[in-house]
Structure 1
Amino acid sequence: MTTRFTKCRICRDGKLVNGEDVIVSTQTGLIVESTSKDDDEVIDLGNKILAPGFIELQTNGMRGFHFTHFEDDASYQKKLDEVARYLPSTGVTAFYATIPTVSSDDFKKILPSLVPREISGGAALLGAHAEGPYLHPDKKGAHNSSLFHPPSTSPLEVYGSIASSDKTLKLVTLAPELVETDSLIKSLVANNIRVSLGHSTATYDEGLSGLKSGATCLTHTLNAMPPLSSRTPGLAGLVTSSHAPYYSIIIDGHHLHPTMATLLFRSNPSKCIIITDSIELAGLEDGTYPGHAQIPFNQTKIGSRVVIEGTETLIGGCAGLGECVANLVRWSGCSVPEGVRCVTSNIVGLMGERERGRLELGRRADLVVLSDEGEIEETNRDLVYLHHTTVSRNHNTAGAAQDGVATSASSAKSAAIPQAAGDDSVIEEPAAAPATTVGVTELSPLPTDECADGVRYAWDVETEEDG
């Protein structure tokens, strides 16, 4: 039993492919090869762009839940599921949960709860990204530098046995200039953990040494690292080297000026990765919110920008990944498939993910339908076929997760996506709940005067502690 998506333009390797269909097994949710045109369901996409589901490499949480907030495994899993069910409204069908620097005891409590798994009605959890604690204090950003460790502290001591189990910890961000970092990188890589360089004062040569030891990525390039300059390119200069790593950039309009974002993307499009670096205020209304153990000060959210209250220091992003892709298309003039590559195949190239990120035979049918401008119109993944649900959104309205369905309030529909095997009907899109009431876990704005109407962009001020 199969469903055929036809009359579409397929994103593949940064280009649009015409004249091909995508055929999905309704039993397995995998892309298959059809031997006939007698499919159970044929979906005419009306020449829309069909892309792989987006993968989020760096998110710290959203909808009121930060991934460092651990009380017990049961409540943690419940809140994690709420985040996963919200993510498809941003185009994301799989994600890595980022844990910024916490104590070793907290790492050991949290990481076992992030074992990769499918989440009914939501994006799949692919594992954890530990951003710390091997970072440079001069580029700590919003991290608690009192919890930093030197590279001589073994990963087993910091992260626990999960650091050698090849199950949960998939990526570690560290500063390559620290003493004994080369040995640490080799140890992590030997355990099939990818290493990214960031929150660092490293020179170009120190970064190159990190790459030679096995690091393969840069974390939020140009944030929490030295700037590019004529004689000292720093870590960012590595993106065009003969050993060029993958490199992530935050395309929210606050962490990077659009011109710098374009420059970085154009430097090496096949290695560029878009991330949100979102924090728990993503998806919530604007306001000032209380801090917590990881960020021990009040946080002010204005649109997609969050700063330490009363300062211009960026804490993290609040933009959705789909919004960031559309930003890149608009700012750089790149094609939609080029932008999509930065949240799909480039990430699977870095992480070695073999089940997602490409619309190829045998991979999961994680699908996103896009407009010619790169805006998300519908999101659909294998859960459509396995869990009897569909997910879709319109970019003009914030999505909300309800009973495993991420929706928009828009009545405008693109091509309908089938509910389940053997069912010719489609799920009607329910009215969306207010964006601030779904998936929020006991987090409300602090009492305050009316927020400022304008947004002061990050490039207007010195932001050495960004990231």
Structure 2
Amino acid sequence: MDRTSRPQAVIAGRLLDGRAVTLTVRDARIAGIEPLTEALSADAANAPALPWLAPGLVDLQLNGYGGIDFNTLPLGEEQVAEVTSALWSHGVTSYLPTVITNSDEAIAELLGVLAAAADRDPLTGASIAGIHLEGPFLSPEDGARGAHSAAYVKAPDWELFQRWQEAAHGRIRLLTLSPEWPQAPDFIARCAASGVLVSIGHTAATPQQIREAVAAGARMSTHLGNGSHLMLPRHDNYLWEQLAADELTAGVIADGFHLPESLLKVFLRAKPGRIALVSDAVYLSGLAPGRYTTHIGGEVVLTPAGKLHLAANDKLLAGSAQMLPAGIGHLVRRGLATLEEAWTLASSVPAGLLDRPDLGRIELGAAADLVLLRTDAGAPVVEAVYKQGQKVIGSSGSA
């Protein structure tokens, strides 16, 4: 056989729709999908059951992990690579590191480090599918602004955004803003024309302003239901308007703490196929439960269950500390979605928002970003991960 035609990997597993298959990987892509023979796929008494085989997860919003914060300087390129490899263990093979509201200079420096880290290492660069800039073009109002610093919130500024895009080596792929600013529609249209996905978030916009943003090209809602006022008009408000807009896919934190089960059910029914699970995890995710001091929330507590709250009030969240598999497991355990449905919301749906049909799918020609997993009480447990056909998590050799 010609050495160049030898497969990079051969992986056996059961797809989330139940089919037992063997995947052949060549040149970092899925080159073959063949059904397993009945003899090979049968779970013999003395052989382990086939693992589930799923596409890699895609997280559109991640602020840090394992004590490394993408929003605190100094930030090193090695730290970005460290977070990237840590995410693989959770099945996240593509993600958008997220930079939030800060001074103009700090945003530029943070973007530059993230871009340099992606340029430096091929697997890190392949895993960073872009950068999410969340702010500073947000609502200045308390409640809607969330934890973003009021000192740095400002109106959309195209020249400033272009300077940040240059610092990011063109890698800003997602921008969260509030369309309540008068110049927002024109700004959104320019972003959309340049290939930047615009998401509505941290907003006090009127329903009319939401509609104008959608007409200008906004395609997403950032962590819908969170980062909003505690009290809203019962009919005319920005949550209902975003739910009603078929053009918008809703980013949702489904960790079991940020949104009640009833609201998750309504979101899933209102937007079938247009929900993208996000972690929105902060840098304390991945650390041991305990009490921590943060630069934004002050004293906080990370519970053994994964809830992150203010030390002074356990009813006030201090961010998210759960990875995407936790959100998937929550939907499955609560009977809100099957494993296949929930996994899709965290893989192919966000990949579609990024216009990356090669990600989040198991099909011929797709990227060989793959996860082998089992389930525990409905929740996915990652056993092995491939990034571009290379096994990055799990025992050495092909599965």
Question: TM-score range, shorter-chain basis?
Answer: 0.7 to 0.9
Contact 1:287 1:300 in 2 (8 A): yes
CA distance in 2: counterparts of 1:274 and 1:183, whole angstroms: 28
Give the match for residue 11 of structure 2: 5
CA distance in 2: counterparts of 1:62 and 1:134, whole angstroms: 25
| Count of residues in correspondence between the two structures | 375
Matches within 5 A, 1:357-396: 357-371=360-374, 373-382=378-387, 385=390, 389-392=391-394
Give the match for residue 314 of structure 1: 317
**1:140 is aligned to 2:145:** yes
Contact 2:286 2:321 in 1 (8 A): yes
CA distance in 1: counterparts of 2:34 and 2:95, whole angstroms: 33
Contact 2:23 2:33 in 1 (8 A): no
C-alpha deviation, 1:190, in angstroms? 2.0
Give the match for residue 30 of structure 2: 31
Q: Go from structure 1 to structure 2 and tell me whether the alpha carbon gap of 1:5 and 1:279 turns closer, same or farther (over 3 Å shift).
A: same
Give the match for residue 85 of structure 2: 85
Contact 1:135 1:175 in 2 (8 A): yes
Give the match for residue 345 of structure 1: 348
CA distance in 2: counterparts of 1:260 and 1:35, whole angstroms: 40
Q: Secondary structure at the match of 1:130?
A: strand
Bigger proportion of residues as helix: 2
Q: Go from structure 1 to structure 2 and tell me whether the alpha carbon gap of 1:330 and 1:204 turns closer, same or farther (over 3 Å shift).
A: farther
CA distance in 2: counterparts of 1:353 and 1:166, whole angstroms: 19
Give the match for residue 270 of structure 2: 267
CA distance in 2: counterparts of 1:302 and 1:35, whole angstroms: 44
Q: Aligned letter for 1:238?
A: Q
Alignment partner of 1:276 out of 279, 282, 285:
279
Q: Aligned letter for 1:419?
A: G
CA distance in 2: counterparts of 1:236 and 1:228, whole angstroms: 10
Q: Aligned letter for 1:137?
A: P
CA distance in 1: counterparts of 2:61 and 2:249, whole angstroms: 14
Q: Secondary structure at the match of 2:147?
A: coil
**1:302 is aligned to 2:303:** yes
Q: Go from structure 1 to structure 2 and tell me whether the alpha carbon gap of 1:178 and 1:161 turns closer, same or farther (over 3 Å shift).
A: closer
CA distance in 2: counterparts of 1:50 and 1:185, whole angstroms: 38
C-alpha deviation, 1:84, in angstroms? 1.0
C-alpha deviation, 1:175, in angstroms? 0.7
Q: Secondary structure at the match of 1:33?
A: strand
Contact 2:21 2:34 in 1 (8 A): no
Q: Go from structure 1 to structure 2 and tell me whether the alpha carbon gap of 1:123 and 1:288 turns closer, same or farther (over 3 Å shift).
A: farther
Contact 2:29 2:367 in 1 (8 A): yes
What CA deviation, in whole Å up to 9, does each residue of 1:310-341 have, x standing for no partner?
24432310012111111111124311111011
Q: Secondary structure at the match of 1:21?
A: strand
Contact 1:262 1:328 in 2 (8 A): no
C-alpha deviation, 1:67, in angstroms? 0.1
C-alpha deviation, 1:213, in angstroms? 0.6
CA distance in 1: counterparts of 2:227 and 2:83, whole angstroms: 26
Q: Aligned letter for 1:219?
A: T
Q: Go from structure 1 to structure 2 and tell me whether the alpha carbon gap of 1:383 and 1:109 turns closer, same or farther (over 3 Å shift).
A: same
CA distance in 1: counterparts of 2:190 and 2:167, whole angstroms: 9
TM-score for both structures, normalised by structure 2: 0.85
C-alpha deviation, 1:36, in angstroms? 12
C-alpha deviation, 1:17, in angstroms? 5.6
Give the match for residue 3 of structure 2: none
TM-score for both structures, normalised by structure 1: 0.73
Q: Go from structure 1 to structure 2 and tell me whether the alpha carbon gap of 1:62 and 1:122 turns closer, same or farther (over 3 Å shift).
A: farther
- Percentage identity across aligned positions? 25
C-alpha deviation, 1:296, in angstroms? 6.3
Q: Go from structure 1 to structure 2 and tell me whether the alpha carbon gap of 1:19 and 1:228 turns closer, same or farther (over 3 Å shift).
A: farther
Give the match for residue 69 of structure 1: 72
Contact 2:368 2:389 in 1 (8 A): no
C-alpha deviation, 1:114, in angstroms? 2.2
C-alpha deviation, 1:125, in angstroms? 1.4
Q: Aligned letter for 1:30?
A: R
Contact 1:163 1:169 in 2 (8 A): no
CA distance in 2: counterparts of 1:84 and 1:322, whole angstroms: 16
Q: Secondary structure at the match of 2:191?
A: helix
CA distance in 2: counterparts of 1:259 and 1:325, whole angstroms: 16
CA distance in 2: counterparts of 1:36 and 1:375, whole angstroms: 23
Contact 1:87 1:122 in 2 (8 A): no
CA distance in 2: counterparts of 1:379 and 1:123, whole angstroms: 18
CA distance in 2: counterparts of 1:236 and 1:378, whole angstroms: 40
C-alpha deviation, 1:78, in angstroms? 1.0
Q: Aligned letter for 2:276?
A: I
Contact 2:108 2:167 in 1 (8 A): no
Contact 1:202 1:225 in 2 (8 A): no
Give the match for residue 286 of structure 1: 289
Structure 1, unaligned runs of 5 or more: 393-416, 421-425, 427-467
**1:191 is aligned to 2:224:** no
